[in-house]
Amino acid sequence: MNTELDWSNLSFGYLPTDYNVRCRYADGKWGEIEVSQSDTINIHMAATALHYGQEIFEGLKAFRGKDGKIRIFRLEENARRIRSSAEGIKMQPVPEELFREMVEKVVKLNARFVPPYGSGASLYIRPIELGMSAQIGVHPSSEYLFMVMVTPVGPYFKEGFRPTNICIMREFDRVAPKGTGRWKVGGNYAASLEAGERAHELGYSAVLYLDPKEKKYVDECGPANFFAVKNGTYITPASESILPSITNKSLMQLARDMGIPVEERHIPIEELAEIDEAGACGTAAVASPVAEIHDIDTGVKYIVAKDGEPGPVTTALYNKLRAIQLGEEPDVHGWNTIIEE
């Protein structure tokens, strides 16, 4: 255990750890896994990742459980998703078995950075793949680097699990209707920075994007999926332009387990006037409750959390998911990978 870190006060920044793991694809095959102590990489200045955005990533977490064991949450789902992202932008897919081996290895090597149970902190795992071939022509790279780095991160809700306001802004789209939104591509984030910064300046925690084709339906909430609770039903957008969140998928399963009906469908903007709860979900926060949604173009304000408190369904789902991640409740769906130290 690393005794020098103040676990509960870690930010969502970058803290160096002991090791990262790397694997290169060249001459038509993946090489050996390399363990590195360097936190920099050597990249050709003409690499496709730098010029044409051939870059994809993942984000998952490891937790120290109540029993002292390290658990990685839904590793296989992330392995599947990065493969889909690779196929989406013509990169070499990382075999799922290689992904698993590298993630498990990097967590084991950095076990002293997995925050203690009860701190609210976790070890954030960031797999990343880059197109490495030196070329100026616009075509997919023939060489790739896949690496997995980790960094400990503090509890997301430092001021407690409190609802925040989000806004609808039509001036920017994060992605195109049949574009790269369904893949975890770095460029999608670049496209969201301007709108995100404007929203923050206006006091909102995130932008609630509308579907980029018709601007009629709710799409995604910044770098997180959107869900709402309406008359006891969990609703979340079905859309080609959103990233399939593994947290959302997990919350949907937990909702079904609790007897809460789940609907994945279009959510027209006007329906926001009828919802009882709303939240943004993703690995960083699990679920971040929404208080009000302000449509800054029309001036309409949707007051979701009438009493300013997180809703009962959002709270129950949040607590349930956290309890599974921390080994406080049985992992009936087999979502955790336990790391033997």
Ligand X SMILES: *Cc1c(COP(=O)(O)O)cnc(C)c1O
Does residue 246 bind ligand X (CB under 6 A)?
Answer: yes
Pairing of strands 286-295, 164-168: parallel
| 239 binding ligand X? (CB under 6 A) | no
Q: Is 195 in the site for ligand X (CB under 6 A)?
A: no
Q: Does 279 bind ligand X (CB under 6 A)?
A: no
Q: Are 256 and 228 in contact (CB under 8 A)?
A: no
Which residue type is seen at 242?
A: I
SS3 219: strand
By CB under 6 A, tell whether 22 contacts ligand X: no
**Catalytic residue among 61, 158, 184, 230, which?**
184
Residues 247-266 as x/- pattern, contact with ligand X by CB under 6 A: xx------------------
Q: Nearer Cβ to ligand X, position 24 or 322?
A: 322
221, β-bridge pairs: 208, 224
Structure tokens at 136: 């100026």
- The footprint of ligand X on this chain (CB under 6 A) covers a number of residues equal to 13
The smaller minimum CB distance to ligand X, of residues 246 and 317, is found at: 246
Residue 283 makes contact with ligand X by CB under 6 A: yes
Q: What is the 3-state secondary structure (H, E, C) of 256-313?
A: HHCCCCEEEECCEHHHHHHCCEEEEEECCCEEEEEEEEEECCCCCEEECCCCCCCCHH
Rule CB under 6 A: say whether 224 interacts with ligand X: yes
Residue 312: closest CA among 166, 163, 120: 163
Nearer to ligand X, 243 or 267 (CB): 243
To the nearest whole angstrom, how small is the minimum distance from the Cβ of residue 81 to ligand X?
Answer: 7
Which of 22, 64, 71, 184 touches ligand X by CB under 6 A? 184
Examine residue 282 and tell whether it contacts ligand X (CB under 6 A).
yes
Cα atoms in the Cβ-side hemisphere of radius 13 Å centred on 259: 0
Assess whether 184 carries a catalytic annotation: yes
Among 20, 133, 205, 245, binds ligand X (CB under 6 A): 245
Cα 283 to Cα 273: distance, rounded to the nearest angstrom:
27
Measuring CA to CA, which residue among 295, 297, 293 is closest to residue 305?
293
What is the smallest separation between the CB atom of 282 and ligand X, expressed in angstroms?
3
| Residues binding ligand X (CB under 6 A) | 59, 184, 220, 223-225, 243, 245-248, 282-283
- Residues forming the active site: 184
